[in-house]
A and B are shown apart, each in its own frame.
Chain A
């Protein structure tokens, strides 16, 4: 059964939300989802850009107060 892991990377300067996402996807099973919370405005652009390049699925982005919840599904 697919799982969803939540990573609270708000305020994380290093390694940062995208690097945390990449690391989490390596450990996830195909079909699992990873939800990253990021207060870095750049994540809204660079996470979808990387997901498109590498071939996973953007499930959605929810804007919250001061941060975004970005959900990705592992496809391969």
Chain B
């Protein structure tokens, strides 16, 4: 009887796992010894890091979205039928349509979502760019913006940890290009006592902000937004006025994780080396869905997915695990509209960002196109 691999989630992580497995165990798939099934929430595959450019009109929306059936290998049985319950004891996943899928190995790749509604007034009073519709609205607001107080507000937890700095520097450069910088005041707020979670990045960002005239406030965790008065207030007792509020909303995992009692907030307790769900030998967790204290980012998901591909292929063909995940994360960082840098680290190597350059900016733009090769398991 064929071994069944079930991938729940059709985003970056699930797709790289599915495509990577097809490349590793093609013979077994051809013989029908193994069947891979994927349950996605949509037939569209969105390149989320590209959303950063939408508010600036710097990317065509058609570059961000592809038909998932063209991204995922045809040997993966793909259903647009999201999971509504995951029963790891019975080894069954129930979908929205009522179908029940059994599995021998399960990969949970359900990702995370923005939750502006968890902070009073945020959904009504703020703009964000982590979803396509919201990024379009922010683009419209920026088109009309002629100057005033801009607050870039960061909330925990959130994915893509460098995006808040990127959007701040890009906004500042946009206002300069439009000739309205002298009418704009940008204030960046951050939840902890420095400008970024990564200490070397925070040390780099501080003089950059001071030189560009960007104000900042640390230890700022949003309590509420007053859309009428146009103010934002922190748990720490500070209130800032704004004419334009750009927020990085707090994130949570997906509802199906909470409904299945697999993890508070939708984050699944996961072994940081093997990527097994804690307590399960045949359930792997990948990408934003894990509770591993590591950046929730596309590159994290990618490197974790590569590890799971190697381990699942090895388990299925040789009955052993191949390797541990080493905690690798690699992020490009836009430092404006024309320059960029990058940062990489793992569980044992601290980050050390280099000086910004035009070349890294172009490399990031090139990667935005090359992503589709990554998703296919070719890069």
Contacts and interface: CB of A to CB of B under 8 A. Distances in A.
A54 B235 contact: yes
B193 A18 contact: yes
Given A13-B198, A14-B329, A46 B192 contact: yes
Interface in A47-75: 49-50, 53-55
Contact of A19 (B157, B235, B236, B350): B157
B161 interface: yes
Interface centre among B235, B264, B293, B345 (most CB of A within 10 A): B293
A27 B294 CA distance: 18
A11 B348 contact: yes
B293 A15 contact: yes
Interface string A17-29: 1111011001100
B345 A13 contact: yes
A16 interface: yes
A7 interface: yes
Contacts of B199: 13, 42
Contacts, number: 74
Interface in A1-45: 5, 7-9, 11-20, 22-23, 26-27, 42
A53 B234 CA distance: 11
B156 A14 contact: no
Given A14-B198, A18-B192, A19-B156, 13 more contacts: A14-B294, A14-B345, A15-B157, A15-B293, A15-B295, A16-B197, A17-B293, A20-B293, A22-B221, A23-B250, A49-B193, A49-B219, A50-B193
Interface residues of A, number: 25
Nearest to A45: B193
Chain B interface size, as a band, is 20 to 34
A49 B197 CA distance: 16
A74 to B, nearest CB: 12
Interface of A: 5, 7-9, 11-20, 22-23, 26-27, 42, 46, 49-50, 53-55
A50 B219 CA distance: 7
Contact of A14 (B219, B264, B295): B295
B102 interface: no
B213 interface: no
Contacts of A26: 118, 156, 250, 265
Nearest to B265: A27
Interface centre among A5, A15, A26 (most CB of B within 10 A): A15
A54 B161 contact: no
Nearest to A20: B293
Nearest to B198: A14
A71 B3 CA distance: 45
Nearest to B300: A14
A50 B347 CA distance: 26
B191 interface: yes
Interface in B134-163: 156-157, 161
A42 B198 CA distance: 12
Contact of A27 (B264, B293, B350): B264
B280 to A, nearest CB: 19
Contacts of A16: 192, 197-198, 293
A12 B250 contact: no
Given A8-B293, A23-B157, A14 B265 contact: no
